[in-house]
Chains A and B, each alone.
Chain A
Amino acid sequence: MAKVKSLADLKKMKEQLQSKVDLREKGEDPESRVQIKVAMATCGIASGAKTVMDYFLEELDKRSIDAVITQTGCMGYCYAEPTIEVKLPGQEPVVIGYVDVKKADEIIEKYIKNGELVDGIIPMNYNTIDNQ
């Protein structure tokens, strides 16, 4: 990886990365991928987030669903760990709590495949600096 040599470099890199992310997130293309973020901070891992993440990685592959699964930090809903965020192309992301392997299977079958919401959705309850 080339070093970032100046602020201009950094800004250019940001633009590139941003458009890559936008493409992924906004999902203009209906065939675009499903995105899953697993909250993998200590509290998440302690409640089994690692198992859930592994399950998603394996199962989505098995079931031939094109998805990006990433880890992320604490979403703040410690009472409902493990929590994951699922974003279907072109839709608002949905946060689901108390996810175990059984729940993960339900999420894949119902929500990811058919867009049916499942129990245990956590309403997002904060503002971000972006939409301030």
Chain B
Amino acid sequence: MSHVKVELKKEDVAKIKEICKTFHNNPGELINVLHKAQSFFGYLPAEVQEIVAVELNIPVAKVYGVVTFYSFFTMLPKGQHPISICTGTACYVRGAEKVLDEFKRILNVSVGETTPDGKFSLGCLRCVGACGLAPVVMVGEKVYGRVSPDGVKDILKEYE
């Protein structure tokens, strides 16, 4: 997993410690801790994982092993507007791949990457559960249904 280096501010460190504390520094709660930390920072840089490891008294290699196991966790900051294309089966048979290709083409990034200006990041997810609207695209929290490759431009326009 590629990652970026960051310098954590004092209050960031305090925040991570506080999160660990709410879970009683219990190593069994590692995944819950990581969820909280990611929702606070938006991603899980190495520095955050190191503090979590120290607080929960587990090897940082193990924290990293867990972070890289679950696709929900990321070590890369997401774009300002994270785009997720549902690649569940229902969306797939209704053309999600072509929609994804169009996003890749227009943004000129591949899945898991962020545009150089930090505006959009592109990702895939498996089944939002809105199969009636397939293919589905999410930008941030907003769901777009029945998206066609032609509609991609219009979606992106909303965020310009």
- Distance, CA A78 to CA B128, complexed state (A): 12
> Nearest Cβ in chain B — how far from A37, in angstroms?
18
**A residues in contact with B130, CB < 8 Å:** 42-43, 46-47, 78, 81
> Nearest Cβ in chain B — how far from A74, in angstroms?
9
> Nearest Cβ in chain A — how far from B133, in angstroms?
6
- Distance, CA A132 to CA B85, complexed state (A): 42
Classify the interface of chain A: helix, strand, loop or mixed.
Answer: helix
Question: How many A-B pairs fall under 8 Å by CB?
Answer: 31
For window 4-58 of chain A, which residues contact chain B by CB distance below 8 Å?
Answer: 41-43, 45-47
**A residues in contact with B133, CB < 8 Å:** 43, 46-47, 78, 81
> Nearest Cβ in chain A — how far from B158, in angstroms?
15
Number of interface residues of A (CB under 8 A): 11
- Distance, CA A81 to CA B131, complexed state (A): 11
- Distance, CA A80 to CA B145, complexed state (A): 12
**B residues in contact with A42, CB < 8 Å:** 128-130
- Distance, CA A77 to CA B130, complexed state (A): 11
> Nearest Cβ in chain A — how far from B83, in angstroms?
15
Interface on A for B, CB 8 Å cutoff?
Answer: 41-43, 45-47, 77-81
- Please list the 10 inter-chain residue pairs (A to B) with the smallest Cβ-Cβ separation, ordered nearest first: A78-B132, A46-B143, A43-B130, A79-B132, A46-B130, A42-B129, A81-B132, A43-B132, A47-B133, A47-B145
